[in-house]
Amino acid sequence: MTTPTLASSPGGPLAARGRRRSGRRRRLTLDYVSFMFVFLVIPVAVVVVFVVWPFVQAAYYALTDWTGFKSTFNFIGFDNFGDLFDDPIFRKAVKNNVLMGLIIPFVTICISLTFATLISIGGSSRGQLRGIRNSSFYRVVSFFPYVVPAIVIGLIWSKMFDPSNGLLNGLLTSTPVDAVLGWLNDLPLIGRLVGENGFDTFAWLGKESTARWAVMFVIIWGMVGFYMVLFLAGIKGVPAELYEAARIDGAGRWKMSTRITLPLIRDAVQTAYIYLGILALDGFVYAQALTPTGGPNYSTRTLSQELFSTAFVDGKAGRASAIGVSMAVITLTFAGLVFGVNRLTGGKDRVQLA
């Protein structure tokens, strides 16, 4: 008669390991398998088919001379990329996009944060901390531009910028406004900018000095309301006790905004900066609606417009794919810079609330 060893005994290591294995087998139920299939396998397959695979195809076609209209093409290596960097129009588009990527996110976030702060904690310094009067009305009105489609916003502002019948020039040359701002035309800088006729027939989108800024203004105008609401949601999550304690200690609105609000909604600001940067590095809808040909001397030409023109006007799908790959690299570089700057400036540190 054999005596059971410690390893094979009911409480031994081998028995425990066997129970763990049987437990794993028991967890592989129909509910578990169906959950993994529906919420993991299918989403991953969709992402691979509709996101990853098109990127791979674009990178491959960027190395060919495919026209987009024929099934045959030749492999030419990196010739498309070399031609792009020798193209002055492409370099101008890169410059325009980089400038938009630097200005649009920064200005939009500053304006949105200012409005969100005023609406949430910018009211009277007496009594309970609250926003300015009629803050709910401002919140709703400021969100209206985001509800309107981007192409509609672009077309509306293209009519407002019209040099002959535009609303903007009509307001600037109206009698009340001219009586107040008429002296601006006498300034040397303004005089050289608007010319002898002043704002009567000033072409906002037809002059290189103003076309780029007009397009950026329209994008900022359309985005401020949405990001203001986004920051309002973040500010609502900040404990009111922090503001009350800061006010008791004598902190003003500026210190409460920079020392409490901004650090505690830092993640929301980072997300907004990345999304706005991606929008600015694209900007196709706004630029195409306002300046379909790229503006005077291509001053508003964007990479997305260059891609569209190269693919569907010039019939060079391989070269257009190279532009798309360049856009992807620039966008990923921008996102990486935002994450890096955020970490270097203390974004990885978390505020611990007692």
C-alpha span between 112 and 226 (Å, rounded): 8
Does residue 354 register a pLDDT over 50? no
| Closest CA relative to residue 206, chosen from 161, 142, 170 | 161
Map 86-141 to HEC letters: CCHHHHHHHHHHHHHHHHHHHHHHHHHHHHHHHHHHCCCCCCCCCCCCCHHHHHHH
Rounded to a whole number of angstroms, the CA Rg of the chain reads 29
Neighbour tally for 158: CB within 10 Å: 19
- Are 339 and 270 in contact by the 8 Å Cβ rule? The answer is yes
Q: What is the mean pLDDT of residues 122-132?
A: 65
Ramachandran angles phi, psi of 302, nearest 5°: -110, 165
pLDDT at 144: 84
Ramachandran angles phi, psi of 75, nearest 5°: -85, 120
Look at 5-19, 66-80, 230-244, 257-271 and tell me which has the smallest mean pLDDT: 5-19
Beta-bridge mates of residue 75: 64
Question: What is the percentage of the chain residues whose pLDDT exceeds 70?
Answer: 81
C-alpha span between 351 and 354 (Å, rounded): 10
50-88 pLDDT, tens digit per residue, is: 989 999 999 999 999 998 888 889 999 999 999 998 999
Q: What is the mean pLDDT of residues 249-276?
A: 86
- Are 237 and 221 in contact by the 8 Å Cβ rule? The answer is no
Instruction: For residue 274, give the 3-state DSSP assignment.
Output: helix
Q: Which residue has the higher pLDDT, 340 or 16?
A: 340
Tokens representing 108? Answer: 């939009």
Does residue 352 register a pLDDT over 60? no
pLDDT at 19: 56
pLDDT at 169: 82
C-alpha span between 188 and 204 (Å, rounded): 19
Instruction: For residue 6, give the 3-state DSSP assignment.
Output: coil
H runs (alpha helix) in the chain: 13-27, 30-36, 42-47, 53-61, 79-85, 88-121, 135-147, 150-160, 167-172, 175-181, 188-194, 208-236, 240-248, 253-256, 262-264, 266-282, 284-290, 303-312, 317-344
Residue 203 DSSP label: -
Domain 80-161+203-344 has CATH 1.10.3720.10: yes
Does residue 329 register a pLDDT over 50? yes
C-alpha span between 165 and 162 (Å, rounded): 6
Beta-bridge mates of residue 352: none
pLDDT at 253: 78
Q: What is the mean pLDDT of residues 160-174?
A: 84
pLDDT band at 164 (very low <50, low <70, confident <90, very high): confident
276-287 pLDDT, tens digit per residue, is: 999 998 889 999
Ramachandran angles phi, psi of 107, nearest 5°: -65, -45
- Are 55 and 324 in contact by the 8 Å Cβ rule? The answer is no
C-alpha span between 132 and 25 (Å, rounded): 61
Does residue 154 register a pLDDT over 90? yes
- Beta-carbon contacts of residue 110 (< 8 Å; ≥ 6 apart): none
Look at 72-81, 129-138, 191-200, 262-271 and tell me which has the smallest mean pLDDT: 191-200
Look at 17-21, 151-155, 213-217, 309-313 and tell me which has the smallest mean pLDDT: 17-21
pLDDT at 174: 75
Q: State the average pLDDT for the chain.
A: 83
- Are 154 and 288 in contact by the 8 Å Cβ rule? The answer is yes
- Alpha-carbon distances, residue 4 vs 14, 19, 309 (angstroms): 12, 18, 82
- Are 64 and 76 in contact by the 8 Å Cβ rule? The answer is yes
Residue 51 DSSP label: I
pLDDT band at 338 (very low <50, low <70, confident <90, very high): confident
pLDDT at 353: 38
Does residue 349 register a pLDDT over 80? no
